[in-house]
Amino acid sequence: METTGRSNQHVRFKSFELNLHTRELYNHGVKLKLQGHPIEVLAMLLERPGDLVSREDLQKRLWPQDTFVDFEHGLNSTINRLRETLGDHAETPRFIETLPRLGYRFIAPVEDAALADPSPPPPAHPPPANPSPPAARTSVPISKLLPRALATVLAAVAILLSLNALGLRDHLLERLLPAPAFRSIAVLPIQSLSGDPAQDDFANGMTAALITNLEGIGNLRVIARPSIMRYKGSKKPLPQIARQLKADVIMEGTVERWGDKVRITAQLMEGKTAHPLWAGSYERSFHDAPNLQSEVAEDIARRVKARLSPTETRRP
């Protein structure tokens, strides 16, 4: 990885934090399963925030000359995947700005993650060997001290919440607010990141397998495959897609093959806010692809079923 001059390998922007060394991305402290080219592009952008990262630099680093893929298609798919994970949009970017025919630029403020405060230095002068007894102080009734202490604590908590220090406000809201009720789900077409048209059939089969497995969950309404296929490759914001499909939760995923390996990533997001609820990554030999399809579909079906109430999960 290139040297960026940063003293800390953890960089933070908004509610996200990226470990540049391990390539791990967190949102509100929750680890996101963003891997492969999307996480590498994000790292390159964060290594040079505010500067242009040219398409040539991206191609040299991620798609060398001996890689036989459609660079334009692969880069567009990678940027779309990255924007969806960050909840960003090309038309009104908060994080990634597109410079037509040139490249991309990270426009959000970036800062090093706060390091632990060093311990305070020792006092300049040691206390005297035989300190004189303290002067007598007027005692204050505890009934008067308690309201003052309580007011001080409440004021400190109010300041921390207003500043959202260390994401405290967001964590409290996530714990106090009830989880959204899942009554309908839309499985968006799985995207192939390999740049190989032959992998589209595998991605389409993965999409169909997920829809079939989810349709067996009690009263959960699964959006029909013809309705979701028109969103294949769509750049519309996820909340807009969820609103048009009347889906409470959106599931999207990617499939990528290199050599004899295949990796599938899947993510569940709340429809109204595109807030990530769960993410998983699966890697197997490509010869075991049929079993991998079933495993991913059944796992996601269990995850969705676990978020439903007993009444909703009861089979008809």
**Separation CA 224–CA 211 (nearest Å):** 8
Assess if residue 205 is contained within a domain.
Answer: yes
Q: What percent of the chain has pLDDT over 70?
A: 71
The predicted pLDDT at position 105 comes to: 95
Q: Is residue 26 located within the same domain as residue 107?
A: yes
Assess if residue 210 is contained within a domain.
Answer: yes
Confidence category of residue 138, pLDDT binned at 50, 70, 90: low
| Residue range 13-51, pLDDT digits in tens | 999 999 988 999 999 989 998 888 999 999 999 999 999
Assess if residue 149 is contained within a domain.
Answer: no
Which one has a higher pLDDT value, 118 or 90?
90
Q: Is residue 82 located within the same domain as residue 203?
A: no
Q: Is residue 107 located within the same domain as residue 220?
A: no
Q: Is residue 190 located within the same domain as residue 84?
A: no
Q: Is residue 104 located within the same domain as residue 200?
A: no
Q: Is residue 193 located within the same domain as residue 274?
A: yes
In 3D space, the residue among 151, 222, 161, 160 whose CA is nearest the CA of residue 186 turns out to be 222
- Indicate if the pLDDT at residue 109 is higher than 60: yes
The predicted pLDDT at position 67 comes to: 57
- Indicate if the pLDDT at residue 126 is higher than 60: no
Last residue in a domain, options 63, 85, 112 = 112
Last residue in a domain, options 90, 112, 134 = 112
Last residue in a domain, options 59, 79, 112 = 112
Beta bridge partners of 96: 106
- Indicate if the pLDDT at residue 316 is higher than 60: no
> Based on the structure, what is the number of domains in the chain?
2
Q: Is residue 194 located within the same domain as residue 292?
A: yes
Q: Is residue 71 located within the same domain as residue 190?
A: no
Q: What is the CATH number of the domain that holds 263?
A: 3.40.50.10610
| Residue range 190-200, pLDDT digits in tens | 888 876 676 77
The predicted pLDDT at position 296 comes to: 78
Assess if residue 177 is contained within a domain.
Answer: no
Which one has a higher pLDDT value, 4 or 42?
42
Assess if residue 46 is contained within a domain.
Answer: yes
Q: Is residue 303 located within the same domain as residue 194?
A: yes
Kindly report the backbone phi and psi dihedral angles of residue 182, in degrees, each rounded to the nearest multiple of 5, phi listed first.
-95, 115
Assess if residue 242 is contained within a domain.
Answer: yes
- Indicate if the pLDDT at residue 175 is higher than 60: no
| Residue range 257-312, pLDDT digits in tens | 777 788 888 888 888 888 888 888 888 887 777 777 777 777 777 777 666 645 44
Mean pLDDT, the chain, rounded, equals 77
| Residue range 232-250, pLDDT digits in tens | 888 889 899 999 999 988 9
Mean pLDDT of 52-65: 86
Q: Is residue 190 located within the same domain as residue 90?
A: no
Q: Is residue 16 located within the same domain as residue 103?
A: yes
Q: Is the pTM of this model over 0.75?
A: no
Assess if residue 203 is contained within a domain.
Answer: yes
- For the four alpha carbons of 84, 89, 94 and 100, in that order, the dihedral sign comes to positive
The predicted pLDDT at position 142 comes to: 56
Q: What percent of the chain has pLDDT over 90?
A: 25
Q: Which of 34-38, 138-142, 216-220 has the lowest mean pLDDT?
A: 138-142
| Residue range 147-160, pLDDT digits in tens | 776 777 777 766 66
Q: What is the CATH number of the domain that holds 38?
A: 1.10.10.10
The predicted pLDDT at position 207 comes to: 85
The predicted pLDDT at position 280 comes to: 81
Which one has a higher pLDDT value, 214 or 32?
32
**Residue 37 domain boundaries:** 10-112
The predicted pLDDT at position 3 comes to: 40
